[in-house]
Structure 1
Amino acid sequence: MHRTTPIRRTSIALAVLGAGALALAGCLPTPPTLPTAAPPQPTQTQTAPESDPAEPSESQEATPPQAGDYAHTVDDGAGDVWSFTVTSIDDDPPMESGEPEPGTSFVAIRIDGHHDEGGASFTTCFDMLVVGSDGETYDWADTVAVTAEDDIFYVDDTFEGARAVVQLPEGVDPVQVILRSTFGHPAVPDTVLDVEQ
């Protein structure tokens, strides 16, 4: 009878166990590899709610008044129509050149205007006059050699705050402002405005 030694039995048992382990290794799935770092999480970007594209900014320039926005409209019958408003009469207006003669002072008629028709300038179309508290009438045409800031002589077809400077004797206050159509007078009525004291 053939006997195996204990050493051989142990070797055979180890071989059988090794073969079984190999067989099992082929049948069992290998565990998945663990990532070394956490997978990147999706980030949510903060987006502003959709809006209409920005519109181009409007011009900062004020829209000039239209003809109906002025207090007076004068058609001289010779081809020019002007609309205007006398906004104030100011003492001692700021000047660019010239100063009142001794014993006199300047006042300025402030005017906004718009040329509705024609090609003649405002100063060509109107005589600008001030009636003083002494009863005398003083003409803008007598001060054409001086220049106020925003002088009416240099205005365009639409203007605001233009100054027509009139010279008055000291102690005489303006009582009325008269704008007279140069070409339409006397058929075209004067624009006469009382000056509030």
Structure 2
Amino acid sequence: MTHRTPPRRLLAAALVLGGASLALTGCIPMPPAVPTAAPTMPAPEDPTTSTEAADPTEEPTTPPSAGEYAYTVDDGLGDIWSFSVTSIDDNPPMESGEPADGTYFTAVRIDGNHDEGTTSFMGCFDVFVVGSDGQTYDWADTVAVTAEDDIYYVEDTFEGARAVVQLPEGVAPTQVILRSTYGHPDVPDTVLDVEG
């Protein structure tokens, strides 16, 4: 006696095997037609500090990417900021406030990025200007005035923010000092000479 498989079972088996073959071939990805190369990053330029006044007619530029800031300061308490001092400008445009009689405003222009932490730039730094008279003048003395693009209002990445310092008439800025508020004196000051 011979055993014969019903034709319907053969047809069903053929359909299952054919469907499985199609499903398997759909799971194997085809290699790309043309190999793709990894994107290239431009090499960062050497950071420089300019102490000349910025031209107000210049178009704003893209904020620097990581590694393009001149200084990185870790206060040791959870905040790390990278920044560059781009210029120091006399008589900056103001939103409110005027210099006292016999004085004028100068603005330290800063670009920055908050690498780690939650404290604002002005919470992390004190800004000072040393005058040609040998005296040190503090940004904290001008908190009642507001410059355009005032540093007090910056967020985690900013460009061209102004920290305004008041100097006596006839006194020129000779140095800019940024001091870590919470890291001082263990964290060294960032000191920049102002070119005449």
1:85 maps to 84
Count of residues in correspondence between the two structures? 137
Measure the CA separation in 2 of the matches of 1:171 and 1:63: 36
In the alignment, the residues of structure 1 paired with residue 157 and residue 109 of structure 2 have an alpha-carbon distance, to the nearest angstrom, of: 14
Contact 2:111 2:160 in 1 (8 A): yes
What is residue 169 of structure 1 aligned with on the other side? 168
The residue aligned with 1:128 is: 127
**Cα RMSD for the two superposed structures:** 1.2
Please tell me whether Structure 1 or Structure 2 has the larger radius of gyration of its CA atoms: 1
Letter in 1 for 2:119: A
What is the identity, as a one-letter code, of the residue corresponding to 1:191? T
Query: What amino acid sits opposite 1:101 in the alignment?
Result: A
Paired letter, 1:98: G
Q: Give me the whole-angstrom Cα distance separating, in 2, the residues matched to 1:63 and 1:95.
A: 24
Q: Secondary structure at the match of 2:95?
A: strand
Q: What are the ranges of 5 or more consecutive residues in structure 1 without an aligned counterpart?
A: 1-60
Give 1:95's aligned residue: 94
**TM-score after normalising by structure 1:** 0.68
Residue number in structure 2 paired with 1:189: 188
Distance 2:135 2:99 in 1: 18
SS in 2 for 1:66: coil
| Contact 2:85–2:111 (Cα < 8 Å) also in 1 | yes
- Deviation >6 Å, runs of 4+: none
TM-score, normalising length from structure 2?
A: 0.68
Q: Report the AA paired with residue 164 of structure 2.
A: V
For 1:39-50, list aligned pairs within 5 A: none
Aligned to 1:71: 70
Deviation at 1:157, TM superposition (A): 0.2
Give CA deviations for 1:91-141 in whole Å, capped at 9, x if unaligned: 000000000000000000000000000000000000000000000000000
- CA separation in 2, counterparts of 1:116 and 1:67? 9
SS in 2 for 1:124: helix
Which ranges in structure 2 are unaligned for 5 or more consecutive residues?
Answer: 1-59
3-state secondary structure, aligned to 1:99: coil
Percent pairwise identity: 79
